[in-house]
Amino acid sequence: MSVAQLSTFSVDGYLFGVEVAMVQEVIRYQPMTRVPLAPAALVGLINLRGQVITAVDLRHRLGLGDRAAGALPMDVIVRTGDSLVSLLVDRIGDVVEVAEDAFEAPPETLLGSARELIRGAYKLDDALLLLLDVRGAVELQPAG
């Protein structure tokens, strides 16, 4: 039975996972430079050791509510293609091993229009772990 390793984090109470290999590092919240005229989910640019990296707030992207005032997100730096993107999440979780046979399609009612960014769900003992489509999540439509 094949097993996948997922890096997990939570956003607005949902538990998400991405393949461990995609995650370069997790850092605490960085001050950002906002980008006027950019798509709404693109919340800013951060300086990661001399590299300018785009930060995408998963709350925006998934159509979830705003973070509580004063609560600082974490930066999950993921590699897509040949570029790095920072995903802003509420809290970082453990790396978990999931069995492939626990994988199924995401529940129909989940997350409304953002459901297309969920590739599937793993049933854990105490929670449902949603597998995030990272490529889709960092692809943003231009601001209208």
Partner 1 sequence: MEDLDEIIAEFLVESHENLDQLDGDLVALEQDPTSRELLGRIFRTIHTIKGTTGFLEFGRLEALTHAGENLLSKLRDGELGLSAEITGVLLTMVDAIRSLLAAIESTGQEGEADHTELIATLTRLQQGGAAATAGRHEQPETSSPVGEVIVEHGGATEDDVSLAVTAQDVGDTRPIGEILVSQGSTTSGEVSLALEVQAERRSVADGNIRVDVDRLDSLMRLMGELVLTRNESVAHAAAAGDAALVRASARLNHITSELQEVVLRMRMQPIDTVWSKLRRFVRDLGATCGKTVRLEMEGRETELDKTILEAVKDPLTHLVRNAVDHGIEAPQDRLAAGKDEQGLLLLRAFHEGGQVNIEIQDDGAGMDPALVAAKALELGLVSAEELARMNEREIINLIFLPGFSTAATVTNVSGRGVGMDVVKSNLEKIGGAIDVRSAIGAGTTFHVKIPLTLAIIPALTVGCAGDRYAIPTVNLVQLVRLEGEQAGIELIAGTPVYRLRGSLLPLIYLDRELGVSDPDPERDSVLIVVLQVEDRRFGVAVDAVLDSQEIVVKPLSSQLEQVAVYAGATILGDGSVALILDVLALAQRANVVATGRELARDTADHVDADDRPETRSALLVASVGQARQVAIPLDRVTRLEEFPAASVEYVGSRELVQYGGEILPLVRLTRLLEGAGPRADSDVLSVVVCSSGGRAVGLVVDAILDIVEGGLPGHGNLSGDGLLGTAVVQHRITELLDLEEIIRKADPRFYDAPAVPAEGRA
Kind of pairing, strands 14-19 and 42-48?
A: unpaired
1-9, 39-47, 110-118, 120-128 -> range binding partner 1 (CB under 8 A) = 39-47
CB contact set of 40 (below 8 Å; sequence gap of 6+): 60, 143
- 123-142: which residues touch partner 1 (CB under 8 A)? 138-140, 142
Taking the complex as a whole, how short is the minimal distance between the CB of residue 27 and partner 1, in angstroms?
Answer: 14
Alpha-carbon distance 9 to 32, whole Å?
Answer: 21
Question: Which amino acid belongs to residue 53?
Answer: I
- 46-65: which residues touch partner 1 (CB under 8 A)? 46-47, 49-54, 56
7-15, 27-35, 70-78, 100-108 -> range binding partner 1 (CB under 8 A) = 27-35
End-to-end CA distance of the chain: 47
Taking the complex as a whole, how short is the minimal distance between the CB of residue 34 and partner 1, in angstroms?
Answer: 7
Three-state SS for 49? coil
28 binds partner 1 (CB under 8 A): no
85 binds partner 1 (CB under 8 A): yes
Alpha-carbon distance 132 to 117, whole Å?
Answer: 6
Residues that bind partner 1 (CB under 8 A): 31-39, 42, 44-47, 49-54, 56, 83, 85, 138-140, 142-143
